[in-house]
Amino acid sequence: MNHPCYICGLGSCIPPRVMTNHDLEKLVETSDEWITTRTGIKERHVLEDGVNASDCGVSAARAALDEAGVSPEEITHIFVATCTPDYLCPSTACLIAGKLGISASSGRMGRVMCMDFNAACTGFVYGLELARDVVAAHPDAMVLLVATEALSRRTNFTDRTTCVLFGDAAGAVVVRGSDKGALWQVRDSVCSSDGSLHDLIKIGGGSACHVKEGDVIGADWFISMQGMAVFKHAVRSMTEESQSILARNGVSLEELDLFIPHQANLRIIKAVGERLGIDENKVFANVQHYGNTSAATLPVAMEDARRLGLLRPGMKVLLTSFGGGMTWGSVLLA
């Protein structure tokens, strides 16, 4: 059964420090021309030293809570989508709860569940699926879903094949079962994965990384990627997942108001739009300004689209993403 589930607050946080393609030209053998034609990216934002994924996440969360008219004490679940958590332990979700002043006895159900999860760039889509499940099980639940990334901390600024692609940002939504203050209904979500493709994108530094105090960090500490293989999988998986969710909800491309795909590469975004056959004016892109901010790209894009007047409450919106794992998925908002 499809239980009603609504987004009633949306927020984002973009770190003020900008890193342009020209800045990267000083670090590696690259050019603004190469980066622009191959990816569409012109600039990305990076966190200042001492400011972490949890801090950026808290700013996005506060904006989402403000819009929802919900106080931190009312939150029952905090889910954080990130592949660059502040620590392996404690979770970034617990850190965000602490920074929002949420304590053990808070929460409209008398307790708060805090948890990080890693679906890489598909984190926001997976998170909306999780939020739907929680709201179905607990109709009074008030879920804070935060997608926050500090990718610059795991970017190897001597590797030109990856360092031009990524940036830092956070986005957040408040999700509940009641339509009070609803911006969009989360009408449906589909989530997929293929673990046999785990080697295509990697960020090291987990327990598989055998280090002892004093060791020099190796290249495996940073993001590594088989770019072209990821590119092909991204186009295919986002196209098919989007067709699948539209078909099972009986929604045509013409009925869609906006299509917001994961912001990794303008060429991928255009290829998916063309394969779907959607009007190019309905395809949103802001990767030019932020690069790939992994789990954060979709809520950040939603907030930007709204600021530009392209996204309004109640519009039919298709979100889709793909990422390391490999993972992929789509969400239909209405």
Question: How far is Cα 130 from Cα 239, in angstroms, rounded to an integer?
Answer: 22
Nearer to ligand UT7, 221 or 231 (CB): 231
Give me the least distance between CB of 166 and ligand UT7, in Å please.
Answer: 8
Give me the least distance between CB of 132 and ligand UT7, in Å please.
Answer: 23
Q: Furthest-apart CA pair in the chain: how many Å?
A: 59
> Where along the sequence are the contacts to ligand UT7 (CB under 6 A)?
30, 34-35, 38-39, 121, 160-161, 164, 201, 225, 227-228, 230-231, 234, 264-265, 292, 323
The structure tokens listed for 133 are 């499940």
The structure tokens listed for 172 are 């957040």
Nearer to ligand UT7, 105 or 196 (CB): 196
Three-state SS at 89 = coil
Give me the least distance between CB of 39 and ligand UT7, in Å please.
Answer: 5
Question: How far is Cα 127 from Cα 172, in angstroms, rounded to an integer?
Answer: 10
Which one of 121, 191, 233, 286 is the catalytic residue?
121
Give me the least distance between CB of 226 and ligand UT7, in Å please.
Answer: 8
- Mark whether 281 is an active-site residue: no
Give me the least distance between CB of 22 and ligand UT7, in Å please.
Answer: 13
Q: How many helices (H) and strands (E) does the chain have?
A: 10, 13
**Please, which residues have CB within 8 angstroms of residue 137's CB and are 6 or more apart in sequence?**
none
Three-state SS at 67 = helix
Amino acid at 222: F
Question: How far is Cα 198 from Cα 21, in angstroms, rounded to an integer?
Answer: 29
Task: Indicate the residue whose CB is closest to ligand UT7.
Answer: 227
Q: Establish whether the linkage from the previous residue to 90 is cis, with ω within 30° of 0.
A: yes
Nearer to ligand UT7, 146 or 151 (CB): 151
- Mark whether 121 is an active-site residue: yes
Per residue in 305-331, is it b (16+ CB within 10 Å) or e — as a string? bbeeebbeeebbbbbbbbbbbbbbbbb
DSSP per position, 307-326: HTTS--TT--EEEEEEETTT
Give me the least distance between CB of 21 and ligand UT7, in Å please.
Answer: 9
Which one of 262, 265, 286, 289 is the catalytic residue?
262
Question: How far is Cα 267 from Cα 38, in angstroms, rounded to an integer?
Answer: 7
* C-alpha closest to that of 99 among 134, 127, 138, 60: 60
Task: Provide the annotated active-site residues.
Answer: 121, 262, 292
